[in-house]
Every structure is written in C-alpha cells, then in structure tokens.
C-alpha cells in the first residue's frame, strides 16, 4: 500500500457558532468533532500519517481532550499559520506520504468511500477533489444587476483534497495569493488539472449551530 498522509486543518472559534470553544472541539454526540474526523481516516487506513495543524494556543486544550476522551491515536500536531495556506505549508514540512490529502477538521462525516476515491484517484490523476452537484438555482451578482447561471456547470467543493506529494509540495512553494481558496486552487495555479470525484451529502462543514444539528441527524442515520 502506498504510504499516505492527511493534513487536518483547524481554525479558531468561528463567528457563526457563538461557542466559547473552537468549533472543532465541540461535542457531536458526546465526542469532539475533531476526533470523529480523525477516526474516519484511521478507519480507511490505520497506517495513515495524521498531521493536525492547530493554533498554538489550542495545543494544551487538545491534549486535555485526548486524556478526557481516552483518545490514543498517533497524531502529529503542528503549529498553524496566519492563513490556511500557511498552515498547510507547515503541515507539509513533516508529511511522509507519497499521496497527501488535506481535510477540514470540521468535516467529521466524510464517508470512507469518498476518502478512498480521493486517495486512490490521486495515484492516477495527480490531483483529486470531491464535489457535489448544485441543487439550488444560482445567480451571479454584479454592481447593478444579477444574472441567472446554469447550475449544471458548477459543483460544490468538499475535502479531502488529495495529491501526489511532489505536486502538492511544488504548488506550496508559491507565494500566497488571496485567490487561493483551497488546495486545488493552489495546485491549479501551477498548471495541474484537477480531477473531480463524487463527494457525499453528509460531508458537511460544521460552521453554524444548524450544521451541528444536521451532523447529529446524519450520524444517527448511519
């Protein structure tokens, strides 16, 4: 089996959560969101290298949570950067996998099948991301008016986003650009095409109290 690494990026409190602790540490059915996220990747491959990128002021809290919840998985913790771009750069410094994925800490319900599609796809296509179709009507907003767009030409992007190591390493030697919205946009900027695979509906990003309630429902129905 090709060695793999997953860089899990975590941020701060989140403006929409109204919580006193960072959203990745909130409990989802009695267990921190972040732990559920990590466990998904270990279920896919128990040998995968887990790299957790956290703000340095969260290190001690994470250690305490691991003790409280008897979480003994091997996780390598790295200090986060100013922007997500810099956090991924820091994670890449210790990544050992030949295929490297990057995943949002607050997406705890990514399916094993999606993880498999992304990592195995990256072995063949260099750069792979999971996406979902747009089901709502969409409009492009201008300064004066808006224009209806064909939703079939758009996709909603999820994580994990997976790449061959040399591709991701080369891309992240770039200078930070505000147009880098995710890892795929960084890789695309150096000329690599991005392969799309099917994501899963439950793979939501928990950024609001409603998202947390939805995740609870999804988890119950698994």
User: Which are the contacts of 108, defined by CB distance < 8 A and separation ≥ 6?
Assistant: 28, 33, 34, 36, 37, 40, 206, 215
List the chain domain ranges.
Answer: 4-221
Residue 130 gets the label, from left (phi > 0), alpha (psi -120 to 50) or beta, of beta
Q: What are the tens digits of pLDDT across the range 21-79?
A: 899 999 999 999 999 999 999 999 999 999 999 999 999 999 999 999 999 999 999 99
- CATH code, residues 4-221: 3.90.550.10
Q: What are the tens digits of pLDDT across the range 114-173?
A: 999 999 999 999 999 999 999 999 999 988 899 999 999 999 999 999 999 999 999 999
| Nearest-10 Cα torsion for 61, 63, 68, 73 | 140
Confidence tier at 215 by pLDDT (50, 70, 90): very high
């Amino acid at each position: 089996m090709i060695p793999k690494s997953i860089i899990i990026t975590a941020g701060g409190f989140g403006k929409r959560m109204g919580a006193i602790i960072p959203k990745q540490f909130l409990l989802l059915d009695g267990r921190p969101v972040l732990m559920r996220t990590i466990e998904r990747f270990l279920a896919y491959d128990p040998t995968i290298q887990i790299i957790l990128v956290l703000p340095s002021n969260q290190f001690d809290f994470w250690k305490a949570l691991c003790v409280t919840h008897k979480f003994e998985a091997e996780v390598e913790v790295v200090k986060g950067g100013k922007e997500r771009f810099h956090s991924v750069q820091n994670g890449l410094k210790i990544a050992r996998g030949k295929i490297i994925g990057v995943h949002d800490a607050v997406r705890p319900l990514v399916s094993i099948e999606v993880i498999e599609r992304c990592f195995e796809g990256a072995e063949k296509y260099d750069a792979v991301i999971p996406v979902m179709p747009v089901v709502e009507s969409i409009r492009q907003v201008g300064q004066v008016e808006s224009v209806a767009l064909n939703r079939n030409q758009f996709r909603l992007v999820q994580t994990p986003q997976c790449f061959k190591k040399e591709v991701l390493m080369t891309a992240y030697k770039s200078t930070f650009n505000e147009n880098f919205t995710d890892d795929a946009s960084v890789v695309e900027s150096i000329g690599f095409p991005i392969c799309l695979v099917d994501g899963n509906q439950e793979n939501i990003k928990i950024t609001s109290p409603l998202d947390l309630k939805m995740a609870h429902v999804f988890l119950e129905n698994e």
